[in-house]
Amino acid sequence: MDIGFIGVGRMGFHMARRLIEAGHRLIVYDTQREATDRIVARGATAATSPRAVADQVETVMASLPTPDIVLAVATGDNGVAGGGKVRRFVDLSTTGSRMAVRIYEALKAHDIVQIDSPVSGGVSGAEKGTLAVMISGPRAECEPLMPVFGVIGKPFFIGERPGAGQTMKLANNLLSATAMAATSEAMVMGVKAGLDPSVMIDVINAGSGRNTASESKFPKAVLPGTFDFGFATGLMYKDLRLCLEEAEALGVPMWIANAVKQMYQLANSQIGPDKDFTSVIQCIEEWAGVAVRATKDKNT
C-alpha cells in the first residue's frame, strides 16, 4: 500500500521503518531534515509539505507531539486537507477527544475521513512493533487498515465515535503516570529508611504492588540512573492536562489525577519538559536527600 507518514521523529521513525520493512511504499514529511533523511535512507520518499504528501496517497498517517501541531498539519496552510488524493487521515498522536472531533469535522468538509489511532508503548514499543493501537472511526474505513496497524502493534477497535480512541489513550496514560509517581514516592521512602532499592523492586514485583513502573521503568531507567525510557516529561504533563480537561467536561471527579498532574507540573518546571518522564522521581529524591540507584553489584 502507498502510505503517507508525517512526523518521523523518535516514535514516528520506528513506525515508518516497520511499514517500509513490511513492503509498504512511504511518502514522508517532517520539519526536521535530519529525521527525514534518516527514514529516506531506509527507502521512503520525501515530500515538501503535508499537502504534498496528501497529493500522492489516499492514506496519510501522522505521529506528532501536540494537538495544535496536529490541527495545523491536518487543516492549516499546505495541510492534509488541501491534498488532491487523500481519503483518510490516520492520527497516531495524542490530542484529546475534543481536538479529535474538531479535526474530524474539519476534514469531513473536504471528504476526508479522520481515523483516530493514538498509540501506547513508547519508543521501545514502536521499535519492536508492540504498540497498543487504539482505533476509532467509521468501521468500514478502519477495517482495510487493520493489517497496517498490525505492523506497528496490536490494534484495538474502540468505537466509531470520533475521539473515542483519544479517551482510551488518556485513561491509559493517566494510569501510567500515576504508577510512576506513586512508585517513586514508595521507593524514595524505602531508600530513606535504609532499604536496598534493587531488593525493593524485586519484592514489589513479587507482591501486590507490582505495576508498569516497577516492572520496566525502574529497572531500565531509574535504578541505573539513565532516565531514558523514551517519553518526555513535557508530553506526559500534556497528556495529564488533556485527561483532566476531558474529565471536567464529562463531570468526572479526578482527585488523584490532579495530584499526579501537579507532580509532573513540578518536574516539567524544575527538571525540564525534554527530560524523560521517569525523571519525575528526582523531585522527590531532592526533597528527601537520597537517590534511588542500584549498586554496581546488588549481591554485595
**How far is 107 from 26, CA to CA, in rounded Å?**
22
**Closest by alpha carbon to 74, among 94, 88, 85?**
88
Taking the C-alpha atoms of residue 250 and residue 245, their distance in angstroms, rounded to an integer, is: 9
Q: Is-contact 89 73, C-beta < 8 A?
A: no
- How far apart, in whole angstroms, are the C-alpha atoms of residue 17 and residue 126? 10
Does residue 169 carry a catalytic annotation?
Answer: yes
Contact 294, 239 (CB under 8 A): no
DSSP H helices, the chain, are 10-21, 33-40, 50-54, 67-75, 97-108, 122-128, 139-142, 146-152, 164-192, 197-206, 212, 233-250, 255-270, 281-288
Catalytic choice (108, 128, 169, 217): 169
Helix (H, G, I), strand (E, B) or coil at 134: strand
The SS3 call for residue 156 is strand
Which of 211, 235, 231, 224 is closest to 278 using CA atoms?
231
* Residue 277 φ/ψ, nearest 5 degrees: -65, -15
**Residues known to be catalytic:** 169
